[in-house]
Amino acid sequence: MDKKVVANEIILEDADILLKEGREVTLRPLGSSMLPFIRGGKDSVRLKKMPSVAVGDMILVRLQGPRYVLHRLIEKDGDKLTLMGDGNLAGTESCTEKDVIGTVIAIERGRRVVKPGNGLWWRRIPRIVRRYLLAIYRRII
């Protein structure tokens, strides 16, 4: 099967339309910001538009630019959301619930499908410890 690379702006705008219609969308994210739970370029994520989001959810959002990120919701204050990638040790993004395109409902690793957890145990690990765990993980994958 041939692979084609399509610009994020094009594919994610189409994904947004499909998700608003109530359909599920499968995408293969790039980058390492969601390690160790999503391996960029290897794993795929299945997204669905949910009526609301909760702390711990992995969500795809449209930020200013337009720029898209798939990160974990770490704080919710009314309509204001704060996101951070599991593989990031610093830096967060802020948005509102209206910026949410979809929520990850499954992670596909080859033939294996994994239901995403809320990452509670990972978020409880101090960032300095996560730094070393991520360094080890990056060397063994």
3-state SS track over 15-56: HHHHHHCCCCEEECCCCCCCCCCCCCCCCEEEEECCCCCCCC
Residue 73's pLDDT is 96
Domain range for 23 is 8-140
- Look up the CATH number of the domain holding residue 77: 2.10.109.10
Categorize the per-residue pLDDT at 1 as very low, low, confident or very high, splitting at 50, 70 and 90.
low
Across the strands, what pairs with 114? 107
In a domain, 1, yes or no: no
Task: Work out the mean pLDDT of the chain and round it to a whole number.
Answer: 91
Structural domain contains residue 26? yes
Tokens coding 134: 């991520």
Per the structure, the count of domains in the chain is 1
Q: 5 pLDDT band (50/70/90 cuts)?
A: confident
Q: How confident is the model at residue 9, as a pLDDT? A: 76
Please state, in angstroms and rounded to a whole number, the distance separating the CA atoms of residues 115 and 137. 21
Terminal CA-CA length for the chain: 25
Q: Please write down the long-range contacts of 10-14, taking CB distance under 8 Å and 24 or more positions apart.
A: 12/60, 12/62, 12/68, 12/101
Residue count (the chain) = 141
Mind listing the pLDDT tens digit for each residue in 105-123? 999 998 999 999 888 999 8
